[in-house]
Amino acid sequence: MLMPSDDVHIMVQEHGFSAGTIPLLCSRYNASSIAVAFQMIFTAVHHCYLVIAAPDYIAPENDLPLLVDNPPAEAQLRLVMLYTAASPAAKYSIKRGQIVPGDNPISAAWHQEGEVISCQAKIPFASGKGWDVDVDALSFRGKIFAFFHASHPASKDQLQLF
């Protein structure tokens, strides 16, 4: 494996479980940002969710052409959830393919390349029934990575028991 889970866990302990750690791990392992984000979520020991979004052109739903000769409606550039994942401790999943609402911190990160956005927001479940959790999001290599923390990750200053 390119990124041994024990080593990733140590790096996350040193730098914190945050989207801001993804560039460091990419550099260390010469790995893709998507692979790093998935390795982080799969080795997480707390209850959290990962969303990876990217801009895509979406046609308005109610502007469907009525005739074949009509040109399609002008598409808008929107953020779409390409990949989602949950940590082993998580109970639910987030549906892929959803459009990211404009008031979500993922949208804020989209416009601030390289800057970690940290705040509270609802987990973007398709049902709309999320609860407010700590979120950190980062735009990196053309994608937006966000971790929704339903419980708190261990602090990098916390002493290990083992």
Q: What string of H, E and C letters represents the secondary structure of the chain? A: CCCCHHHHHHHHHHHCCCHHHHHHHHHHHCCCHHHHHHHHHHCCCCCEEEEEEEEEEECCCCCCCCCCCCCCCCCEEEEEEEEEEECCCCCCCCCCCCECCCCCHHHHHHCCCCCCEEEEEECCCCCCCCCEEEEEEEEECCEEEEEEECCCCCCCCCCCCC
- Mean pLDDT across 52-75: 63
Higher-pLDDT residue of 122 and 64 is 122
pLDDT tens across 83-110, in order?
999 999 998 999 999 999 888 889 999 9
Q: What is the pLDDT of residue 161?
A: 42
Higher-pLDDT residue of 67 and 56 is 56
pLDDT band (50, 70, 90) for residue 19: very high
Q: What is the pLDDT of residue 63?
A: 42
Q: What is the pLDDT of residue 149?
A: 95
pLDDT band (50, 70, 90) for residue 73: low
Q: What is the pLDDT of residue 129?
A: 84
* All structural domains of the chain: 5-61+68-149 (3.30.450.130)
pLDDT tens across 32-46, in order?
999 999 999 999 999
Q: What is the pLDDT of residue 7?
A: 87
Q: Could you tell me what percent of the chain has a pLDDT over 70?
A: 84
- Mean pLDDT across 133-159: 86
How does the average pLDDT of the chain come out, rounded?
85
Q: What is the pLDDT of residue 155?
A: 60
